């Protein structure tokens, strides 16, 4: 399946797209987030958290590497930026194959640890508010997930 792209004109829409996606997630799902600094990776994760009924404020895990949140499903929010030149395995498999959702910012820095099947999400900064979100499924499970997102993303207002 080819990548599916959505243009978001606001933080609210970026969060809304992620919230819709969260409704289709299952334990063990792995999402990778790539994009420049300030592109909206943590904003997207905040939307996922809302969709998973997580009440705690979501912040970037840059200095802690992994933050865990409890909701409908656990959310494991990881930031691999500081692991670029490290070959340290910090127990990723326990998260990737666990009972929650793994979201990895800067996932390209830990490519060798990532599961083969996953949903790769790239967020591109188009302007101060506008972003292009590209969803590239790897594996049948994630093709299904992207199909569901394509159907239900039309539920978002077009003016946000």
Q: What is the pLDDT of residues 73-88, one digit of tens each?
A: 999 998 886 665 455 6
Is 62 a residue whose pLDDT tops 90?
A: no
What per-residue confidence (pLDDT) applies to 160?
Answer: 57
What per-residue confidence (pLDDT) applies to 92?
Answer: 80
Can you tell me the mean pLDDT for 26-46? 93
% of the chain with per-residue pLDDT over 90? 59
**Is the pTM value of this prediction over 0.85?**
yes
What per-residue confidence (pLDDT) applies to 151?
Answer: 85
User: Which of 6-10, 48-52, 99-103, 107-111 is predicted least confidently?
Assistant: 107-111
What per-residue confidence (pLDDT) applies to 156?
Answer: 66
% of the chain with per-residue pLDDT over 70? 86
What per-residue confidence (pLDDT) applies to 85?
Answer: 47
Can you tell me the mean pLDDT for 100-112? 89
Can you tell me the mean pLDDT for 78-101? 74
Q: Identify which of 125, 144, 133, 108 has the alpha carbon closest to the alpha carbon of residue 47.
A: 133
Q: Which residue has the tokens 């399946």?
A: 1
Q: What percent of the residues of the chain are helix, what percent strand, and what percent coil, each to the nearest 5?
A: 35, 25, 40
């Amino acid at each position: 399946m080819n990548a599916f792209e959505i243009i978001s004109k606001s933080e609210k829409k970026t969060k809304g797209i992620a919230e819709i996606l969260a409704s289709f997630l299952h334990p063990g799902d792995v999402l990778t987030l790539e994009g420049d600094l300030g592109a909206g990776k943590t904003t997207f994760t905040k939307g996922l958290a809302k969709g998973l009924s997580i009440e705690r404020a979501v912040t970037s895990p840059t200095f802690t590497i992994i933050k865990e949140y409890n909701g409908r499903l656990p959310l494991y929010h990881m930031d691999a930026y500081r692991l670029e030149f490290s070959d340290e395995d910090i127990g990723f498999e326990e998260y990737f194959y666990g009972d929650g959702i793994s979201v990895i910012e800067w996932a390209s820095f830990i490519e060798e640890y990532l599961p083969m099947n996953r949903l790769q999400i790239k967020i591109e900064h188009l302007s101060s508010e506008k972003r292009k979100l590209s969803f590239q499924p790897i594996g049948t499970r994630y093709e299904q997930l992207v199909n569901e997102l394509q159907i239900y993303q039309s539920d978002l207002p077009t003016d946000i």
